[in-house]
């Protein structure tokens, strides 16, 4: 080989070795943290040497689209145009389906709680003046009225109409017929009518011996229907009030009976002169045998047929509102349950408003807006498809975090009193992902698979599973009590529960269960302890359990739960436990003596030694510690009246407050 050729080959070899002209080699995987050996014994934390938690504040961007504060009532003009009003005395308008809102009217010291629309120009906002901040002890009822689609409003007293603090207010049904005329009824209250724009309300008498039961519907100023209760009749083993529906064709001057039965009729809707619906049920199983009932007529009330009946008070509640677009498709409100939608005239129900019960929704066919408010915040639950999917219109930075869970290092959820926030970038940013069920919050095994606990009447309840992101639920196990659940993969999970079903003496040992099929079935492991209310596993071999009040107990395993190390933690109430690979163990605890300090405890060697941190102001409201990796973790607490959500990226040495 000639000298020039040799030099060229050497240059080419150097270029190839440096990566020129070819893809870069894949960087080696980061080594997984080694699991330290189990210690000979678990150590007891030295709380006297607890250091203040190093905490700085960098609020994270808040999700939401700026629905006005405290929207307690909504009403549609068209699918895109709507009004909203609330306890701050403001009335807002949207022209883009709720994406943006504009304040159009304000009344100081008025708390609005109801909006009604007649046609496309007339609207009434019902409110109360002189109330306390909680809506109690109101001085007078008022009505703000528009006759030009919301451009101009005027407010006047509503003499004879109950204020928001009246016992009948929340159960009252109001029918707005025109700019001047409306009717109202509530269970046990008077039947009311106004013909002067709501300035004065007069009581309309019913036939002797009958009092309104709450249902009311009018198809014209002259033609209407009300439900009423009368004398005692027998319903099986129960003695109940006779229930009737009355019709008028002369504006309430005379009445005739068109329906009679023994189940209270709480809601009436007539779609036209021929097609109508009656809904009701008893409030409690001690009062009567029927929890929900729905009737229909096709001949103006001459005959009625039963569409659905339930005697299961755990699954069905009395119908208190009807919103049907046609005889087969519509929504119902329940006295103590979520709004439901039917597409088959009540033979089946779906579209549950995901735990948000509420009343007075705005409905247009399958489209529904349900206002929900609390002190300092408000939001609207929204569906366009009969409840198949839900979204939230929400005031910025108003939600209160209640739990945080990551199913992968990148994908996590924050459960708030409003809805689920979801992050797909490791917690850097969050967006609303769905309506949150009421506490206790569901536990995520994956993005779609969730678990929740539903307590029954006795000491135990049911574990329910959803595989569609919380839209539908099925019971997978009964007889559990206050379970704690930890999944290490979409298929493998662990559960602890109180055991009330067997044992020689109380308190019976709690127990640990394992699932290897995504929570469809659970097998009990041998481990048991007096109290194990919390569980956290890093993988199928390494995990920890804790519980106890007022004296805590910690248990650690390295063989999948076959054997355990155990240690008492006197005078410590263990609120939350976290365990990550590499032997990092975290406890959120509260001292059960003295100032009841909130403390965060950390062990890097599976419980052999500990460091402790005080969380100033948290006290017994130190709620949750959750670590995604050995270095990336979250802390949730309440400090005074404010929630605190903090994050660490260095294994807990420093923390950043990201909420509020």
Share of the chain above pLDDT 70, in %: 83
Instruction: Place 398 in a pLDDT band, splitting at 50, 70 and 90.
Output: low
The domain boundary residue, chosen from 350, 370, 389: 350
Question: Helix or strand or coil: residue 609?
Answer: coil
Question: Where is the domain boundary, 350, 382, 410?
Answer: 350
499 and 613 both lie in a single domain: yes
- Of residues 434 and 427, more confidently modeled: 427
Give the pLDDT score at 45: 87
247 close to 255: Cβ distance less than 8 angstroms: yes
pLDDT of residue 439 exceeding 60: no
Is 120 a domain residue? no
C-alpha 538/C-alpha 125 separation (Å) is 55
Q: Which of 206-220, 264-278, 494-508 has the lowest mean pLDDT?
A: 494-508
Do 402 and 529 fall within a single domain?
yes
Q: Within a domain: residue 126?
A: no
**Residue 504 pLDDT class (50, 70, 90 cuts):** very low
Confidence bin at 3 (pLDDT 50/70/90)? very low
Q: Which two tokens stand for residue 485?
A: 């659940």
Cis, peptide link before residue 440, omega less than 30° from 0: yes
Give the Å distances, CA to CA, from 141 to 115, 170, 175, 373.
14, 14, 17, 20
At residue 602, the pLDDT reads 93
pLDDT score recorded for residue 125: 95
Q: What pLDDT sits at residue 133?
A: 66
- Residue 660's SS3 state is coil
Nearest to 631 by CA among 29, 30, 8: 30
Q: What percent of the chain is predicted at pLDDT more than 90?
A: 37
pLDDT at 29 exceeding the cut of 90 = no
Give the CATH number, domain containing residue 234: 2.130.10.10
> Once rounded to an integer, what is the mean pLDDT over residues 332-342?
87
Distance CA 548, CA 527 (A): 16
Q: Is the pLDDT of residue 331 over 50?
A: yes
Ordered alpha helix ranges (H), 463-619? none
Residues 614 and 483 in one domain: yes
Dmax over CA atoms of the chain, in Å, equals 123
Contacts of 344 (CB under 8 A, 6+ apart): 328
Paired tokens of 555: 């248990």
Name the burial class of residue 160, with classes exposed (0-12), middle (13-18) and buried (19+) by CB atoms within 10 angstroms of its CB.
middle
Per DSSP bridges, beta strands 377-383 and 391-394 are antiparallel
Three-state SS for 17?
helix
- Note the pLDDT of residue 66: 57
Range from 216-220, 469-473, 532-536, 541-545 carrying the lowest mean pLDDT: 469-473
What local confidence, expressed as pLDDT, does residue 23 receive?
Answer: 37
117 or 393, higher pLDDT: 117
The answer as to whether 403 is a domain residue is yes
Task: Identify whether 499 is part of a domain.
Answer: yes
DSSP 364: E
554 in the same domain as 462: yes
C-alpha radius of gyration, the chain, whole number: 30
277 within domain boundaries: yes
pLDDT at 306: 95
Decide which of 350, 367, 384 is a domain's last residue. 350
Residue 461 lies in a domain: yes
With the C-alpha atoms ordered 284, 288, 292, 298, is the resulting torsion angle positive or negative?
negative
Burial class (CB in 10 A: 0-12, 13-18, 19+), 523: exposed
The string of pLDDT tens digits covering residues 280-295 is: 999 887 778 888 999 9
Phi and psi at residue 48, to the nearest 5°:
-65, -30
User: Are residues 550 and 457 located together in one domain of the fold?
Assistant: yes
- Residue 357 reports pLDDT greater than 70: no
Token readout for 116 is: 């009604």
As a whole number, the mean pLDDT across the chain is: 82
Are 181 and 194 in contact, with CB atoms under 8 Å apart?
yes
Bigger pLDDT: 27 vs 645: 645
The answer to whether 88 and 69 have CB atoms below 8 angstroms apart is yes
Residue 14, pLDDT above cutoff 60: no
pLDDT digits (tens, 9 = 90+) for 578-607: 999 888 999 998 888 777 888 899 999 999
CB-based contact 516:491 (threshold 8 Å): yes
Handedness of CA 497, 355, 265, 166 (dihedral sign): positive
Q: How many domains does the chain have?
A: 2
Give me the pLDDT at residue 134, please: 64
Instruction: Name the residue range of residue 465's domain.
Output: 47-62+398-659
Instruction: Kindly report the number of other CB atoms within 10 A of residue 273's CB atom.
Output: 12
Same structural domain for residues 589 and 479?
yes
Domain membership of residue 139 (yes or no) is no
Give, as one character, the DSSP assignment of residue 251. T
Residues 336 and 433 both lie in one domain:
no
CA distances from 570 to 553, 590, 591, 631 (A): 8, 11, 9, 28
Does some domain include residue 157?
A: no
**Residue 472 pLDDT level (bands cut at 50, 70, 90):** confident
**Cβ neighbours for 437, distance < 8 A, ≥ 6 positions apart:** 354, 355, 452, 470
Same domain, yes or no: 493 and 629: yes
Mean pLDDT along residues 50-66 = 71
pLDDT for position 47: 86
Q: Are residues 336 and 457 in the same domain?
A: no
The CATH number for 611's domain is 2.120.10.30
Looking at residue 193, its pLDDT comes to: 96
pLDDT at 325: 93
CA angle 63-619-532, nearest 5°?
90
Q: What is the pLDDT of residue 542?
A: 92
pLDDT of 374: 53
Report the C-alpha gap between 343 and 324 in whole angstroms.
Answer: 10
Band of the pLDDT at 173, cuts 50, 70, 90?
very high
Whether residues 272 and 404 share a domain: the answer is no
Q: Let me know whether 328 and 445 are in one domain.
A: no
Whether residue 403 sits in one domain with residue 339: no
pLDDT at 79: 83
| For residue 458, pLDDT beyond 70 | no
| Banded pLDDT at 440 (limits 50, 70, 90) | low
| E strand intervals along 311-400 | 319-326, 329-334, 340-342, 362-364, 367-374, 377-383, 391-394
Q: Of the given ranges (34-43, 346-355, 420-429), which has the lowest mean pLDDT?
A: 346-355
pLDDT score, position 7: 40
């Amino acid at each position: 080989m000639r000298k020039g050729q040799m030099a060229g080959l050497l240059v080419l070899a150097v270029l190839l070795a440096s990566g020129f002209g070819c893809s870069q080699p894949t960087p080696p995987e980061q080594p997984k943290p080694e699991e330290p050996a189990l210690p000979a014994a678990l150590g007891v934390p030295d709380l006297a040497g607890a250091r203040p938690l190093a905490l700085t504040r960098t609020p994270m961007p808040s999700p939401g689209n700026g629905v006005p504060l405290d929207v307690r009532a909504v009403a549609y003009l068209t699918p895109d145009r709507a009004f909203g009003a609330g306890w701050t005395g403001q009335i807002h308008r949207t022209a883009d389906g709720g994406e943006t809102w504009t304040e159009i009217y304000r009344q100081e010291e008025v708390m609005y709680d109801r909006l009604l629309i007649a046609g496309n120009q007339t609207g009434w906002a019902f409110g109360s003046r002189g109330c306390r901040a909680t809506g109690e002890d109101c001085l007078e009822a008022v009505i703000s009225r528009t006759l030009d689609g919301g451009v101009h409003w005027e407010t006047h007293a509503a003499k004879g109409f109950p204020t928001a603090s009246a016992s009948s207010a929340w159960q009252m049904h109001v029918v707005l017929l025109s700019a001047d005329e409306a009717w109202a009824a509530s269970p046990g209250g008077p039947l009311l009518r106004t013909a002067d724009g709501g300035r004065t309300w007069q009581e309309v008498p019913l036939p002797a011996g009958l009092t309104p039961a709450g249902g009311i519907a009018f198809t014209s100023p002259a033609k209407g229907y009300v439900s009423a209760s009368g004398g005692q009749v027998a319903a099986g083993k129960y003695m109940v009030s006779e229930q009737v529906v009355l019709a008028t064709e002369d504006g309430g001057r005379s009445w005739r009976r068109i329906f009679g039965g023994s189940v209270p009729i709480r809601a009436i809707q007539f779609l036209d002169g021929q097609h109508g619906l009656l809904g009701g049920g008893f409030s409690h199983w001690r009062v009567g045998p029927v929890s929900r009932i729905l009737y229909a007529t096709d001949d103006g009330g001459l005959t009625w047929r039963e569409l659905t009946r339930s005697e299961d008070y755990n699954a069905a509640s009395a119908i208190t509102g009807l919103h049907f677009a046609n005889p087969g498709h519509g929504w119902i409100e329940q006295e103590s349950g979520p709004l439901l939608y039917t597409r088959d005239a009540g033979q089946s129900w779906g579209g549950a408003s995901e735990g948000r019960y509420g009343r007075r929704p705005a409905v247009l066919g399958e489209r529904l807006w349900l206002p929900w408010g609390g002190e300092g915040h408000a939001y609207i639950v929204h569906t366009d498809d009969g409840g198949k999917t839900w979204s939230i219109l929400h005031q910025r930075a108003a939600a209160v975090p209640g739990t945080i869970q990551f199913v992968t290092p990148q994908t996590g959820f924050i459960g708030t009193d409003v809805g689920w926030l979801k992050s797909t970038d490791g917690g850097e940013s969050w967006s609303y992902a769905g309506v949150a069920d009421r506490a206790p919050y569901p536990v995520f095994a994956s993005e779609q698979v969730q678990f929740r606990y539903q307590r029954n009447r006795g000491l135990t309840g049911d574990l329910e599973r959803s595989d569609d992101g919380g839209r539908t639920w099925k019971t997978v196990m009964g007889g559990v009590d206050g379970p704690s659940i930890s999944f290490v993969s979409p298929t493998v999970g662990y559960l602890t529960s109180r055991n009330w079903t067997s044992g020689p003496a109380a308190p019976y040992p709690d127990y640990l269960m394992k699932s290897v099929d995504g929570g469809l079935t659970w097998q009990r492991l041998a481990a048991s302890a007096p109290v194990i209310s919390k569980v956290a596993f890093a993988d199928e071999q390494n995990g920890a359990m804790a519980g106890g009040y007022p004296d805590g107990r910690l248990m650690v395993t390295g063989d999948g739960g076959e054997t355990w190390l155990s240690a008492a933690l006197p005078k410590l109430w263990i609120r939350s436990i976290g365990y990550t690979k590499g032997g990092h163990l975290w406890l959120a605890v509260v001292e059960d003596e003295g100032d009841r300090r909130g403390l965060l405890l950390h062990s890097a060697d599976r419980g052999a030694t500990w460091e402790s941190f005080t969380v100033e102001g948290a006290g017994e409201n130190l709620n949750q510690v959750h670590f995604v990796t050995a270095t990336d973790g979250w802390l949730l607490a309440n400090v005074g009246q404010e929630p605190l959500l903090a994050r660490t990226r260095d294994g807990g040495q420093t923390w950043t407050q990201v909420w509020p």
